[in-house]
Chain A
């Protein structure tokens, strides 16, 4: 059999380990680099313990995150709501409360919380429909936020500006709310519960 003058190189199976090495190494680099490339952090104005507050109030989440009379949802309580309890001691007791009192209560300045669950502006979301009508628990979407002793790091997507909680903290798209809050999760839950999942149900 003619070889046309080409030199035959005897290759050992070890050569293929180079392929595997490249694959594993760069997959790992991808996993390691993805959060660093895509997300940035923003600090919260000061620390806050949901657990501590839950121990002080009588009506659970509803004590601060309430519905208005017209059925709309207050979301994160405004300064006036905080002052209902914190107004008596203008200096505060803990270091965090001192920041709160000095920077916000004294200056009557709204607290610029970074909102973990904030959805893009192209969708409607009615808390009344989910909590009051469907009887869902807050934790179904927000997790055990009410039991946390401190606020975790807020991360946002560098490209879109949306909170990382929307896409989810897992790097592979697995899991359900409260681990992630993407459109697919909303649609799945709607379907599972016999609620329409047409575009205009949520999208403006």
Chain B
């Protein structure tokens, strides 16, 4: 036992001398909003996978397929660039759908650690999200959840592709989307 404890303190000592270098850890974001409108009205605004007119950063959408699993949509952003998403789950009764990002266009190329890195317009990787509408009598709760990784999958990410960049970007989309949905539904 003594031996183990000694080895432990040696390891601790080594640890303190190391710079943090590691692989990415999955991140999460969740935003919720209460809307003073019935759930049917709220759901009617967002229910079509091919319609993102309620989401401020999106300029236009082209969709391939209906509200069924496997449908894809390409979002053209107001700031330029595209994001391709696939519908993974659609539940009309539960007023919910889930989707995944399958492709993100490049915003710019940077040099990091001696290599060229493509910074995506939405700085995430392996992004999956779901949106849920829950009726509470006269009001409605909408919850939007996302799980994702930072865009840089190797150790020591550049600032444009680290966890903070990913979390900021995702939270901003979720918040602005829900706020606008509220405004539209309460009109």
Same complex origin of A and B: no
Give A contacts to B, CB under 8 Å.
none
